[in-house]
Amino acid sequence: MLTLYYSPGACSQAPHILLHEIGTEHDAKRVDLKAKKLEDGSDYLKVNPKGVVPALQLPSGEVLTENSVVLQYLGDRAAWPEVLPPLGNFSRYRVLELVNFITTELHKSFTPLFKPDASEETKAYFARQIAGKLDYIDGRLGAGPFLMGEELTIPDPYLFVMAGWAEKMIGLDKWPNLVAFRERMLERPAVRHVLKFEGLLQEEAVA
């Protein structure tokens, strides 16, 4: 079985949602990112020496890291090919283009906003960077419902996580398409399940 190493609300939520969207059986182990420990007290650095989530342990015991690659791995194994079109289909590269944009341009621009030792000036600089990237994403999304149009593909759960971070850290008022996307994603059973599992949606017990 696959095992996802995650931290609540972190970028690991993207593959966590994808696993549920594509219906892949898996185990999910919570990581204390400060202590670099698992819930049983064992050392997470033995799983992923980089000390970050996500990490995906394969049935062979190999551990795959880097969100964009973990999402591709899962997408290529989905019984539902639309989530990542196969080789030979040009739209595969459009999907990967979006994943790469989110991981390199958006995701890492948030990092200083979460760091207590980053100055207000640094935070303001990165908030402006994020705003510019969200201008592009909002236009790209349009009426959606998803980044690629009618079908959910692997960058959508990733964008959902980034939209949640943006809402919390800088507000989403300037990006109405992103607000609508986030609301649509929040209605999805896979998203609700993961939010409950990660302890971020309290009103119903996890089944």
130 vs 207: CA distance, rounded Å: 36
Q: Does 19 bind ligand GSH (CB under 6 A)?
A: no
Q: Whose structure tokens read 């059973």?
A: 189
- CB 86 → ligand GSH: shortest distance, Å? 23
Q: Does 109 bind ligand GSH (CB under 6 A)?
A: no
Q: Does 99 bind ligand GSH (CB under 6 A)?
A: no
State which of residues 8, 38, 66, 127 lies at the interface with ligand GSH (CB under 6 A). Answer: 66
Q: Does 51 bind ligand GSH (CB under 6 A)?
A: yes
99 vs 119: CA distance, rounded Å: 29
129 vs 92: CA distance, rounded Å: 27
State which of residues 2, 4, 11, 152 lies at the interface with ligand GSH (CB under 6 A). Answer: 11
Q: Does 162 bind ligand GSH (CB under 6 A)?
A: no
Strands across the sheet containing 55-57: 37-38, 26-32, 2-6, 55-57, 63-65
Among the listed ranges 17-25, 45-53, 132-140, 152-160, the one in contact with ligand GSH (CB under 6 A) is 45-53
- C-beta separation of 160 from 182 below 8 A: yes
- C-beta separation of 16 from 194 below 8 A: yes
- CB 207 → ligand GSH: shortest distance, Å? 26
Nearest residue (CB) to ligand GSH, 108 versus 174: 108
Largest alpha-carbon pair distance within the chain? 47
- CB 96 → ligand GSH: shortest distance, Å? 14
Nearest residue (CB) to ligand GSH, 89 versus 111: 111
State which of residues 52, 95, 130, 159 lies at the interface with ligand GSH (CB under 6 A). Answer: 52
Q: Whose structure tokens read 């973990």?
A: 70
The answer for 176, left when phi > 0, alpha when psi is -120 to 50, beta otherwise, is alpha
Nearest residue (CB) to ligand GSH, 46 versus 174: 46
Distance of CA 14 to the CA centre of its chain: 3
Nearest residue (CB) to ligand GSH, 71 versus 172: 71
Residues binding ligand GSH (CB under 6 A): 10-11, 33, 51-54, 66-67, 103
